[in-house]
Amino acid sequence: MEDSIPKMRVENLDVSYFDKQALFSINLDITKNNITALIGPSGCGKSTFLRCLNRMNDVIDGCVVKGKVELDGSTIYDQRIDPVTLRAKVGIVFQKPNPFPKSIYDNVAYGPRIHGLANTNSELDDIVEKSLIRAGLWDEVKDRISDSGTSLSGGQQQRLCIARAIAVNPQVLLMDEPCSALDPIATARIEELMDELRNRYTIVIVTHSMQQAARVAQYTAFFHMGYLVEKGATEKMFTTPDDKRTQDYITGRFG
Amino acid sequence: MSLEDNNQEHIVRSYSEELNLLTSTVVRMGGITESQLNLSIKAIENLDVSKADLAIKSDLELDNFEKEIEGLVTRLFVLRQPMAVDLRNVMAALKISSDLERIGDYAKNIAIRSKSITDDKVLPIMEGLVSMGTLASECLRNVLDGYQALDSEAALEAWRKDEEIDKLYTNVFVEVVNFMEKNSGSVNSGTHLAFIGKNIERIGDLTTNIAEEIYFMVRGERLTDDRPKADKTATITSNEVIND
Ligand SMILES: Nc1ncnc2c1ncn2[C@@H]1O[C@H](COP(=O)(O)OP(=O)(O)OP(=O)(O)O)[C@@H](O)[C@H]1O
Ligand SMILES: [Mg+2]
């Protein structure tokens, strides 16, 4: 991952839940305007790692994070950093679409409102429209913008959550298995969307689908039992991985 | 991560079985190609029409093998979406089978041409062609053994030997042209000889392709240094031949 500037840099990251260590001295650069896929068997620490990137672990009971996580060269684990502001810069989209039980409009407007990104109603309208366009959802919802977000299909809800995340102008977008509840068509639309979004954002995605990682990510990192075993260009990882554990996992040979 | 270190079975056992079937089918196709090539060489060595006919006939079998392998590969791609070593394995099978099929075409062409040579004045030149063919066949056998044994070194060795085939070809080519200059009544047979030489040279090239595919399949890295090229026939002029 040497060939472009790191947007985020993780050094010697250790994470524990109470006295159980979940991640062991992880080093990983997240390159700018690329998609980085995190893969590995269930429980290997992918979600834990992802949550370290925007301090979502702060609110988890017993979770202790040690080591360095930088965004554009400055640490994000600092007393002076406001986690809410950080999470606007480093947004997250979860596995299960989780729109608020509010209108489509309010779902997207929520972030810009609390961060004071719009001075007037028409500015807010603008942000909502632009975010929905970027999330590839505008054409489908522009005539029903006051309907409840929960009235949308699963795939549409997930794109709504993406619109909500990008409405606050993030720099990094974290996605934790964003397509696992979606059918192949909805999945393809999200993947297509991710590819467009990466011009503007840096994306980190956790996925259980090797094919998805291969399709969308420029870089892939393989986690196993709390260790980062191998990282590199996606094509290399999937054709000629260096480590036997990577190979066994991606070829379906894991016990 | 090389293929030699890969000893574990897939969690889905039928996947391993399908890969094994693919490999063994390629091995069988390789065996048939090898014996077809040997028949063609026998056919030119003794102008033996019955050997030639056998060589011509086995071409159909190779075509069928190629189709069968294509089917197995398609199925693996659709059902298993192979990755890493498995992907390299499947790709190698597909490419090797197509190279073998083309080797078969050249061997068949050699056999057909052997039947058109009626002029025994050419027999002394035939010796060079037979050595060339024997060497090509030996390379093919070594490469195919390397495929079965996942032995990238064996493949590499055969890959290097292609230079010798090219050298022999240059010599044979000069001999053939000399022969035609002196025996204007034997141009027809001489032309067949030149093409047979060219066919064997192509078989050597395809064999090196197979060696490269095996090397990548096993090691996960490409052979990069340029293969030595000793075929100079493209630049030989008539004067050089006469003065040789
Ligand atoms: N809130 C928590 N409290 C205690 N332990 C936790 C907590 N969250 C995760 N863990 C433990 O940390 C380890 C890593 O879990 P994590 O959720 O990061 O794995 P994952 O790779 O995302 O797995 P999956 O693919 O199943 O989502 C596991 O052993 C898990 O049990
Ligand atoms: Mg997870």
Tell me the per-residue pLDDT of A49-61, one tens digit each, with 9 for 90 and over.
999 999 999 889 9
Contacting residues for B136 by C-beta, under 8 A, at least 6 apart? B37, B165, B200, B203, B204, B207
pLDDT in tens, B156-214: 998 899 999 999 999 999 999 999 999 888 888 899 999 999 999 999 999 999 999 99
Looking at chain B, how many residues does it have?
244
Break chain B into its structural domains and give their ranges.
3-243
Is A158 a member of any domain?
A: no
**How many CA atoms does the CB half-sphere of B240 hold within 13 Å?**
10
B243 pLDDT exceeds 70? no
User: Does residue A121 belong to any structural domain of this protein?
Assistant: no
CATH architecture of B3-243: Up-down Bundle (1.20)
Q: A203 has which bridge partners?
A: A35, A173
Residue of chain A minimizing CA distance to B222: A240
| Number of domains, chain A | 1
Ligand 1 within 6 A of CB of A17: yes
Beta strand A74-75 with A63-71 is antiparallel
Q: Which protein residue has the closest C-alpha to ligand 1 atom 6?
A: A17
Q: The CATH number of the domain where A187 resides is what? A: 3.40.50.300
Q: What pLDDT is recorded for position B229?
A: 60
At A254, the pLDDT band (50, 70, 90 cuts) reads confident
Model pLDDT, residue B244: 39
Residue nearest to atom 2 of ligand 1 (CA): A17
Give me the half-sphere count of Cα atoms (radius 13 Å) on the Cβ side of residue B79. 13
Which mutation among A21, A44, A56 tests ligand 1's pocket best, with the greatest number of atoms within 8 A of CB? A44
Q: Is residue A130 part of a domain?
A: no
CB of A21 within 6 A of ligand 1: the answer is no
Q: Starting at the edge strand that comes first in sequence, how are the strands of the sheet with A20-31 ordered? A: A20-31, A6-17, A63-71, A74-75
Tell me which residue in A238, A243, A248 faces B8 most closely, judged by beta carbons: A248
At A227, is the secondary structure helix, strand, or coil?
Answer: strand
Q: Would you say residue A57 lies in a domain? A: yes
Do the domain assignments include residue A139? no
Per-residue confidence (pLDDT) for residue A180, from 0 to 100:
86
Q: Is the ipTM of this complex over 0.90?
A: no
Burial class (CB within 10 angstroms; exposed 0-12, middle 13-18, buried 19+) of B28: middle
Distance CA A135, CA A202 (A): 15
Per-residue model confidence as pLDDT tens digits over A60-116:
999 999 999 999 999 999 989 999 999 999 999 998 899 999 999 999 999 999 999
Quick one: pLDDT at residue A5?
Answer: 76
Note the pLDDT of residue B7: 66
% of chain B at pLDDT higher than 70: 92
* Res. A215: pLDDT tops 70: yes
Four-CA torsion B58, B61, B63, B66, nearest 10 degrees: -130
* Sheet with A219-224, side-by-side order of all strands: A90-93, A172-176, A202-206, A35-39, A219-224, A227-233
